Amino acid sequence: MEILLHQNHKELLGYLPNIKSSVKEWILVDVRLTEQCNKDFSITMAADTLRDVFKGKEGKIYICNDHEILMLVHWGKDYALSEISRQVERQLPEGSCTVQVHEPSSEGLVKLEMLISYKKPTAAPSFADIRGTRRSNIILVADDDMYMRVLVKKGIDTLATVYEVSDGKDIIAAYEKYAPDILFLDIHMPNMEGTVALQNILARDPKAYIIMLSADSSLENVAFTTQHGAKGFLTKPFTKDKLMDYIKKCPTFS
């Protein structure tokens, strides 16, 4: 599928006789970018998108001006117009493309009219953006020991909203839901070790402020967690003062 610029109209006209012998197997596609179309989505980008959609098909893509394209596509004898429009729609954000089918011409040439109102996808806010715009502090405590969760919560519930997780399989979902300022994370959790959760969360949120918890304060545990991105390590049981030391160091906690 060749793309022709507007100055190559003679080449397009010279191509038209090629379709006469099998005109019913061809489709004429009139593509227009609407005024609502994102300014970053140019007519050449639209042409490239169409070429990808109709890759392997015979035809020409003619760029008429900065908002319109005429395309001739040799689709063959058997085709579903709804499938053709779906193929284009799949290459663009949902709702960006509408297709209208016109009755075949007296010669049997089918015409599609395509309106593209491309809207640039809006990026989801990052965890850092969420923390930076909300007014309250949030802390997530992930520990299978109810006593430890209560201990942490009682020590800080006047400073932040505290959410709890008791099962390792729920840690990632809870983190994504609450985007906490601080995550206190037990190393030994059922169904997902805290060290695994640590690495998964940091892959999603490199600025995560995570403090690991464990009754085993071996050098191996402390070294592993801090070397893999944890901001600190608390040995259980711990005092409120040690808990507060880490809270005060959190850059987003106010």
Q: For 129-139, how does the pLDDT look when each residue is reduced to its tens digit (9 = 90+)?
A: 999 999 899 99
Q: Look over the chain and give the mean of its residue pLDDT values, rounded to a whole number.
A: 84
Task: Give the pLDDT band (50/70/90) at residue 230.
Answer: very high
The C-alpha atoms of residue 179 and residue 200 are separated, in whole angstroms, by 14
Number of Cβ within 10 Å of residue 56's Cβ equals 5
The C-alpha atoms of residue 60 and residue 27 are separated, in whole angstroms, by 11
pLDDT recorded at residue 82: 67
Is the confidence at residue 174, as pLDDT, over 90?
A: yes
pLDDT exceeding 90 applies to what percent of the chain? 35
The C-alpha atoms of residue 221 and residue 214 are separated, in whole angstroms, by 9
- CA torsion sign, 202 to 204 to 208 to 210? negative
pLDDT in tens, 83-111: 666 766 776 666 566 766 666 566 777 77
Q: Where are the domains of the chain?
A: 2-116, 127-248
Helix, strand or coil for residue 149? helix
The C-alpha atoms of residue 251 and residue 168 are separated, in whole angstroms, by 26
Indicate the CATH number for domain 127-248: 3.40.50.2300
Is the confidence at residue 36, as pLDDT, over 80?
A: no
| Weakest-pLDDT range from 15-24, 156-165, 223-232 | 15-24
237-241 mean pLDDT: 87
Helices marked H in the chain: 9-15, 43-53, 81-89, 127-133, 146-156, 171-178, 194-204, 219-227, 240-249
194-201 mean pLDDT: 93
pLDDT recorded at residue 96: 66
Is the confidence at residue 121, as pLDDT, over 70?
A: no
* Short-list 232, 235, 223, CA closest to 250: 232
Question: What's the N-to-C CA distance of the chain in angstroms?
Answer: 59
How are the residues of the chain apportioned to helix, strand and coil, as percentages rounded to the nearest 5? 40, 25, 35
